[in-house]
Amino acid sequence: MPLLLGVAQRVQRRGRSLDILGFGSMIELALFPCHLEAFYLILHFPNDWFQNSFTFQLRAVNVQRSQQWASTDVTIGISDTPSGTFTREDDFGSRESFEINTDEGPVRLENHRLVVRCPALMLSGPGGVKIEVVRDGCRTIAGYFVCGWSQPAPLSEAERRAILSRPGAKRFLGIILQCKECSDRITIKESLSPADQTDQEEGSCWAVDAPDPWRCKCGASVIPTVYIKNGLFELFRRDTGKIEGRQIAVTRQYEKHALHTMLAEYEQLIHSEPSEEAVQTFLEEHPIFWSFLSPISILHKPPILTVCKADFGILTSSHVLYLVEIEKPQTRLMKRNSGLHSEFQAGLDQLRTWRVLVEDQRSAVLQCMGFKMDEVHDVRFMLIAGLARSSHDNAIHTLRRSPLEGEFCCFDELAA
């Protein structure tokens, strides 16, 4: 009889083989309702099933509500030509080619194992899922798996800034609940910026104000929203690209026009001889300028013990903490007769002071910023000053090759 070996959260092709990730009998989700078509089932079939071509129906059934189920049809055909098929060779040199297709796309068979997308069953909350195989009117239970709920940690302000630094960041998320009987629907929204949660559109509400549970007008659909209230924001953390699930609506933070407008404003600012405070404010309001560091946390004016403060503290995805000092765009970098200008040297002196404090009291410095020791693998220093286009090429070249206290870039290079 067919046997469910487990469920995988992700399957990737690598050449002619598959990498199966997150494989097991339980998957933990941060958000419900959830369509299970985002996951993959790994099934094992008896050898005698593959003597001839055959078709079967794969069913996913909600254990708590057996009347809720979804299915997909799978056809397996045996042919003599391996073109466009997967070929298996046994110990005696006999070759068989399996052409496998479902209505969700191609799957892969190896040693009587089938990897196929789970049928599009929607679960409104945590629970068990039964997998059935139906062939020639005969229904067989292949196995079970469990969908659990894992409440994600709330978004901190520093993490929110880091997410905003991604060019593909999502500004609004909405999950759409709709009754199949009366077509009544509601969109429950979440915003990356709390300041957005003021306007209210008809037919929608913010997650914090959502009724629990939501009931449609006819009473046929009763869906708990506690998982939406406590888990929808988790989707902000995910990388850009397609979010699985047909009930999710996404509004991007940055469109092409918005990026061009932002760059134009930045160029105008850095060429207007602004104060250091004006530049600091602009970069605080537009964290996307730090995207080249792949931040997971951005701090404004982080304290370095009680001695001084950096302008920015940026923890990258590789767990490197950058302490950033900004000078003014009009800061002069080199003297006319070579040598570092005093305005530029002042910034380097600041980095030197930070380095001494970090080397002497690393644990206390990180604790003062709210980091644990294992969260930061290395501490580096960065100085942003001057304009490359306003400096001689020889001056920039000399600075690049000089041993400085940390990394260095100009304000116009920051916009690159």
Residue 402, pLDDT > 80, answer no
Of 6-20, 174-188, 225-239, the range with the lowest mean pLDDT is 6-20
Neighbours of 150 (CB within 10 A): 11
Of 116-130, 208-222, 381-395, the range with the lowest mean pLDDT is 381-395
What is this structure's pTM? 0.79
Of 102-111, 295-304, 317-326, 391-400, the range with the lowest mean pLDDT is 102-111
Tokens of 4: 């469910």
Of residues 308 and 195, the one with the higher pLDDT is 308
Tokens of 46: 């008896």
| Phi (first) and psi of residue 190, to 5 degrees | -140, 140
| Phi (first) and psi of residue 215, to 5 degrees | -120, 135
103: pLDDT confidence band, cut at 50, 70 and 90? very low
pLDDT at 95 (0 to 100): 43
Query: What one-character-per-residue DSSP string does 125-140 give?
Result: SSEEEEEEEEETTEEE
Q: Which residues make Cβ contacts (< 8 Å) with residue 250, sequence separation at least 6?
A: 170, 172, 173, 174, 243
In this prediction, residues 312-330 reach a mean pLDDT of 97
Q: Which residues pair with 7 in a beta bridge?
A: 24, 41
Q: Mean pLDDT score of the chain, rounded to an integer?
A: 86
Q: Tell me how far apart the alpha carbons of residues 302 and 313 are, in angstroms, rounded to a whole number.
A: 6
The DSSP symbol for 9 reads S
Q: Which residues make Cβ contacts (< 8 Å) with residue 324, sequence separation at least 6?
A: 310, 311, 312, 313, 314, 381, 382, 383, 384
pLDDT at 112 (0 to 100): 76
Sign of the dihedral defined by the CA atoms of residues 167, 168, 172, 173, in that order: negative
Beta strands 69-79 and 3-8: pairing type? unpaired
Residue 83, pLDDT > 60, answer no
Which pLDDT tens digit goes with each residue over 173-228? Answer: 999 999 989 999 999 999 988 777 766 677 889 999 999 999 999 998 999 999 99
